[in-house]
Structure 1
Amino acid sequence: MQTNVHQGTSKLISEIFEVREIPSGMEYNVDLRCQHCDYGKFQVDRIPCRRVLACCVNQRLDWKVYIHEVYKMDQVQRVYRASFKTLGNPATWPTYHRPRFVPNPFLRRVTKGRPWMTRFLNKMDTRMLRAPRRCRLLKSKEYLPRITPG
């Protein structure tokens, strides 16, 4: 999707923009200083959305500055720096004395056979709405052979 960037009203700091998307004509305000975009994805994900990227390209700013610290590679490597304890032999684990979870067998998903159709039928489902199939040879509903007897 193509975006068109127009500079906003602030002349002192060039970090407030008005972004207009061309196909829809929707306008969004982007404030890079406060890391705020009217679309909302920039605040939630803390990753620059396409409107923020368009502003950075327009003003020749580094878009990597606006990525949250959690997504940077040094933070990811810090997680795996710590050593993890192995689980060991299950026979040496302490016994569990709390209540056990017993599943209801009637709520278990059926694994045999064809799955049930769960969608709503409409006019396009003509195969399901027409009369039942009949055998070509005997013209009856009961006998539907895969290979007609020869």
Structure 2
Amino acid sequence: MKKKIVNILMLLVISLMTFSCSEDEVVMEPSLEVTPITMQGTWKLAELNGEQVPEDFYIYVIFDRKGNFEMYQKHDSMYPRYITGTYSIEKDSHYGYILSGEYDYENGDWNNKYIVTDLLQSGSMVWTVKDGDEVSKYVRVDEVPEEIVEAAKVDEEQ
């Protein structure tokens, strides 16, 4: 009888140790529906293809609820640029949410359409080029830094 009790206690201790060693459960934040309301605000490019972007390379995009955007960027030229236009969001049954845009002043469409995923309440979203492999992570920020706004204005005046 004593041997049975010892065996049961050993079995109980082993099971407790096994279950107590399991990894903590990771709670995933649910992704929001991609709409002008959930995208409204100021966003900064934080990562490009999993790498942090260099300090002198930036894109800030401000989306409003009416489908307009303002963009401050310095990535494809040595001077900062301020660009405006309109954007639209389409829900595709295969790809999910697709973001596209058109620049003001008849400057044409965006070069790419983007599949938007992982739009999180905590303030980040991921854009993947629809017909490519470039992946960009944007994070929500309070505002575009004043020195960037001023630099873009100076460039517009020239």
Give the TM-score category using the shorter length. Answer: under 0.3
Structure number with higher relative contact order (C-alpha < 8 Å, ≥ 6 residues apart):
2
TM-score normalised per structure 1 = 0.22
Q: Max radius of gyration: which structure? A: 1
Greater strand share, structure number: 2
